[in-house]
């Protein structure tokens, strides 16, 4: 490495500490990095390949812990990294080691991949973590890249689909597109494939208004997975909160993300990102030094209050990002605003969001992170979804968040699966889910769209697998089937795995349709896992986080038209009758103006009585809704045998029958209607 300080010098008159990261300002680039405990920060410039270090020069100024400097002539495409000097004192929480090249936390683009080597550790692997490793890690590290933010968005604007009109589709960029026959081979697995006409056509077909993408931030393929010939497929191991994951970019340039978002927006589809601000890819104190640990371990991470040598882990991943620290919080907020303002993203789903609310007294619904977002003029207006739990004490917080957050509702998932599995005594629980889970969410002025309703998500069985497997089958993960949870609430309906028995297949189709109808016809915001709309299977793997292969990729060739047609019909009906509401339903005597009126009906006719709800064998009941404007909708669920259901007075039209081949109906129903086994019907008056 040649030291070229004499030909690469900072312009001290232009230095700016207020812009963190590497910001191209037209004729040069301003570099700024926060490290409160550092004693010196070196900027390292590399050639285009990122393999040869050309310049190494100290950032000249520091204010408030921000080290900064403006370099004339440094343009977009410049590859760079940092070396940060300071105390190596693990017992005080400090792990500075300038032998380790570090990624800029604000890097918008990365070049190269991690090459796993012991040199990536700040200590001598195999020895105590109090030791100090002197090997240079640069050759094994990806590098940061200066980018040009210019992009022609044309007339692109935020769509702002109202929550009550939203239908969310949880998908993986690669898994959705890798095997899609309508996506060109060269575009599969990338954002170009995501924005393809074939994918958009499919989303339109089933009424999707928002696609929620599993993590697209640059992430690490963890070493222990690589050594087992597996990979971090889901992406919950973040390297950078600003840069997209390079393998999802055909050209390696971030403009591909913008192009895909622009196409999806033109099609009326919002883009929501699953973001992981609770931890990073560096693991615990025995993990690698690739960015935050080497920049300022004691600032960026929560450390054990008893012994700062150790990480404080509430995520189960080894470390916890210290979002209560003002500069770490700023980084998170800057990242979110960047994705909204520069990348035109429409919202976020926060992984393990309870961790983000952890302060000195535990989870705080009014913690600094949540309050910062609620007051932010940019972020408070986008879609915000919390995964309302973590593994720490008091971490399960379903219903514990304030507006404008919505929440993944695992109670909906569990009660819906159990009801349709014909578990006893589930009618009261399912009535809660159909009405938007008011016990959890009807408080603190929260709307009826607070619950994100789902029966399957990326973590767990696919919906088809819940009716095909009694037990998990995770052998391909290399952990002797010990990984993944056992609480699947599944039922194989007569055969473990795939079956060609017509009776078993018919029963599976009927139950899957009924569960999808429950999601789509309940109050709240429905979410469908990609592939569930056509019966996709993962062969019983309920923890496919490490399977970047046919186990996880959607198998479009085996798509079931009988399931897909049902989703199309029910989704269209849901919008046609304006079924979803922003206000919770109420009894007729308690309903306010523009509030839906709800009545629970027994199959024999008339209102459900207290004793009826105590009937553990009751598997058929109805919800009669009078929507604002006077529209009457009746949803009847039947998890038991064929049942006769007495209709309220008036001329009712049968609109949906999930047991029928065509699902969608338009026939007049008399005083009673037959509700077949394992069926949802919907009628209007």
Instruction: Please state the domain extents for the chain.
Output: 21-146, 597-684
pLDDT in tens, 407-446: 999 999 999 999 999 999 999 999 999 999 999 999 999 9
Torsional sign, CA 45, 124, 312, 38: negative
Residue showing tokens 């919202």: 347
SS (H, E, C) 54-111: EEEEECCEEECCEEEEEEECCCCCCEEEEEEECCEEHHHCEECCCCCCECCCCCCEEE
For residue 273, give Cα distances in angstroms to 40, 276, 372: 35, 10, 19
Name residue 57's beta-bridge partners. Answer: 43
For residues 173-189, give the mean pLDDT.
97
Whole-number mean pLDDT of the chain?
A: 95
CB atoms within 10 A of CB 17: 17
224 contacts: CB under 8 Å, gap ≥ 6: none
Angle 66-294-369 (CA atoms, 0-180°, nearest 5)? 60
Q: Is the pLDDT of residue 493 over 50?
A: yes
Return the CATH architecture of domain 21-146: Sandwich (2.60)
pLDDT band at 591 (very low <50, low <70, confident <90, very high): confident
Q: Is the pLDDT of residue 628 over 70?
A: yes
Indicate if 42 belongs to the active site: no
Poorest-confidence range of 91-95, 156-160, 230-234, 292-296?
156-160
Per-residue pLDDT, 314: 85
Phi-psi region for residue 161, left (φ > 0), alpha (ψ -120 to 50) or beta? Answer: beta
Do the domains 597-684 and 21-146 match in fold?
A: yes
Q: Choose among 162, 172, 259, 33: nearest CA to 553.
A: 172
Q: Tell me the pairing of strands 88-89 and 94-95.
A: antiparallel
SS (H, E, C) 229-257: CCCCCCCCCECCCCCECHHHCCCCCCHHH
Name residue 232's beta-bridge partners. Answer: none
Would you say 110 and 245 are in contact if contact means Cβ atoms under 8 Å apart?
no
Q: How buried is 599 (Cβ within 10 angstroms: 0-12 exposed, 13-18 middle, 19+ buried)?
A: middle
- This prediction has a pTM of 0.96
Tokens representing 2 are 């040649």
For residue 661, give Cα distances in angstroms to 204, 509, 514, 575, 642: 22, 11, 13, 21, 17
Per-residue pLDDT, 2: 41
Q: Is the pLDDT of residue 169 over 70?
A: yes
pLDDT in tens, 20-57: 999 999 999 999 999 999 999 999 999 999 999 999 99
Per-residue pLDDT, 604: 96
Indicate if 533 belongs to the active site: no
For residues 516-534, give the mean pLDDT.
98
Q: In what order do the strands lie in the sheet with 652-657?
A: 597-601, 620-626, 632-638, 679-684, 652-657, 664-669
Of the chain, the percentage scoring pLDDT greater than 70 comes to 99
For residues 322-331, give the mean pLDDT.
95
DSSP structure class, residue 430: H
pLDDT band at 510 (very low <50, low <70, confident <90, very high): very high
Q: In what order do the strands lie in the sheet with 61-63?
A: 21-24, 28-34, 66-72, 61-63
For residues 561-574, give the mean pLDDT.
97
What kind and span of H or E run contains 429? helix 427-434
Would you say 472 and 457 are in contact if contact means Cβ atoms under 8 Å apart?
no
For residue 197, give Cα distances in angstroms to 116, 177, 262, 312, 544: 38, 12, 13, 46, 28
- Residues 458-475, buried b or exposed e (16+ Cβ, 10 A)? bebbbbbbbbbbeebbbe
Of the chain, the percentage scoring pLDDT greater than 90 comes to 91
Return the CATH architecture of domain 597-684: Sandwich (2.60)
Q: How many CA atoms lie within 13 A of 81 on its CB side?
A: 31
From first CA to last CA, the distance across the chain in angstroms is 79
Read out DSSP for 329-367?
HHHHHHHHHHHHHTT---EEEETTHHHHTEETTEE-TT-
Backbone angles phi, psi at 9, to 5 degrees: -125, 150
For residues 195-199, give the mean pLDDT.
98
Per-residue pLDDT, 671: 92
Q: Is the peptide bond before 475 cis (omega within 30 degrees of 0)?
A: no
For residues 508-531, give the mean pLDDT.
98
Per-residue pLDDT, 1: 38
Of 140 and 360, the structure prediction assigns the larger pLDDT to: 140
pLDDT in tens, 128-156: 999 999 999 999 999 999 999 889 998 88
pLDDT band at 4 (very low <50, low <70, confident <90, very high): very low
Catalytic-role residue among 351, 390, 491, 533: 351
Per-residue pLDDT, 3: 44
Catalytic-role residue among 104, 133, 187, 387: 387
For residue 81, give Cα distances in angstroms to 31, 42, 57, 405, 605: 10, 9, 11, 36, 72
Distance, in Å, from the CA atom of 660 to the CA atom of 467, rounded to the nearest integer, reads 19
Q: How buried is 211 (Cβ within 10 angstroms: 0-12 exposed, 13-18 middle, 19+ buried)?
A: buried
For residues 502-529, give the mean pLDDT.
98
Per-residue pLDDT, 589: 78
DSSP structure class, residue 32: E
Per-residue pLDDT, 194: 98
Of 390 and 484, the structure prediction assigns the larger pLDDT to: 484
Per-residue pLDDT, 362: 79
């Amino acid at each position: 490495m040649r030291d070229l300080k004499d030909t690469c010098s900072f312009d001290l008159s232009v230095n700016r500490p207020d812009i963190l990261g590497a910001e191209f300002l037209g004729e040069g680039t301003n570099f700024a990095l926060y490290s409160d405990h550092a004693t010196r920060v070196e900027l390292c410039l590399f050639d285009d390949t990122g393999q040869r270090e050309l310049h190494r020069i100290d950032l000249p100024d520091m204010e408030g812990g921000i080290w900064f400097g403006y370099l004339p002539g440094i343009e977009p495409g410049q590859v760079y990294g940092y070396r940060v000097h300071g105390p190596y004192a693990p017992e005080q929480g400090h792990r500075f080691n300038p032998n380790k090249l570090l990624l800029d936390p604000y890097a918008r683009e990365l070049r190269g991949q991690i090459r796993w080597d012991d040199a990536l550790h700040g200590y001598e692997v195999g020895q105590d973590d109090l030791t100090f490793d002197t090997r240079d890690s640069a050759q094994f590290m990806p590098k940061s890249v200066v980018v040009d933010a210019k992009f022609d968005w044309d007339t692109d604007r935020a769509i702002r689909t109202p929550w009550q009109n939203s239908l969310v589709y949880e998908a993986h960029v690669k898994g959705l597109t890798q095997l899609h026959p309508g996506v060109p081979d060269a575009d599969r697995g990338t954002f170009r494939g995501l924005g393809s006409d074939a994918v958009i056509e499919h989303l339109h077909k089933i009424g999707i208004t928002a696609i929620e993408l599993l993590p697209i931030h640059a992430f690490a393929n963890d070493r222990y997975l690589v050594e087992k010939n597996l990979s971090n497929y889901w992406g919950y191991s973040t390297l950078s909160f600003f840069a997209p994951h390079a393998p999802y970019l055909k050209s390696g340039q971030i403009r591909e993300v913008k192009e895909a978002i622009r196409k999806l927006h033109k099609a009326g589809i919002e883009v929501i990102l699953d973001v992981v601000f609770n931890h990073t890819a560096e693991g615990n104190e025995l993990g690698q030094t690739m960015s935050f640990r080497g920049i300022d371990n004691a600032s960026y991470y929560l450390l054990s209050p008893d012994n700062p040598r150790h990480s404080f882990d509430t995520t189960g991943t080894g470390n916890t990002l210290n979002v209560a620290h003002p500069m770490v919080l700023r980084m998170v907020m800057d990242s979110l605003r960047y994705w909204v303002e520069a990348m035109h993203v429409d919202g976020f789903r926060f992984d393990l969001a309870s961790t983000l609310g952890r302060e000195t007294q535990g989870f705080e619904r009014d913690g600094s992170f949540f309050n910062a977002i609620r007051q932010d003029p940019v972020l408070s207006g986008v879609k915000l979804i919390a995964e309302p739990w973590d593994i720490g004490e008091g971490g399960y917080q379903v219903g514990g968040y304030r507006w404008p957050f919505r929440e993944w509702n695992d109670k909906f998932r569990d009660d819906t699966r159990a009801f349709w599995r014909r578990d006893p005594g589930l009618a009261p629980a399912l009535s809660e889910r159909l009405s938007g889970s008011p016990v959890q969410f009807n408080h603190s002025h929260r709307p009826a769209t607070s619950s994100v309703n789902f029966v399957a998500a990326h973590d767990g069985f696919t919906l088809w697998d819940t009716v095909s497997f009694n037990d998990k089958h995770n052998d391909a993960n290399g952990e002797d089937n010990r990984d993944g949870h056992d609480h699947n609430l599944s039922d194989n309906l007569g055969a473990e795995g795939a079956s060609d028995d017509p009776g078993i297949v018919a029963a599976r189709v009927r139950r899957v349709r009924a569960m999808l109808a429950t999601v789509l016809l309940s109050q709240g915001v429905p979410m469908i896992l990609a592939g569930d709309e056509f019966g996709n299977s993962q062969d019983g793997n309920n923890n496919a986080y490490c399977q970047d292969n046919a186990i996880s990729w959607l198998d479009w060739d085996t798509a079931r038209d009988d399931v897909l047609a049902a989703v199309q019909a029910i989704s269209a009906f849901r919008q046609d009758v304006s079924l979803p509401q922003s206000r919770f339903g109420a009894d007729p005597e308690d309903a306010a103006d523009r509030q839906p009126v709800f009545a629970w009906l027994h199959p024999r006719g008339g209102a459900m009585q207290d004793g009826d709800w105590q009937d553990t064998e009751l598997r058929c009941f109805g919800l009669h809704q009078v929507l604002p404007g006077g529209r009457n909708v009746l949803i009847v669920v039947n998890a038991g045998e064929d049942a006769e259901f007495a209709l309220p007075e008036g001329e009712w039209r049968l609109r949906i029958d999930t047991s029928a081949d065509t699902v969608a109906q338009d026939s007049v129903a008399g005083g009673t209607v037959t509700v077949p086994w394992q069926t949802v019907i919907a009628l209007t008056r």
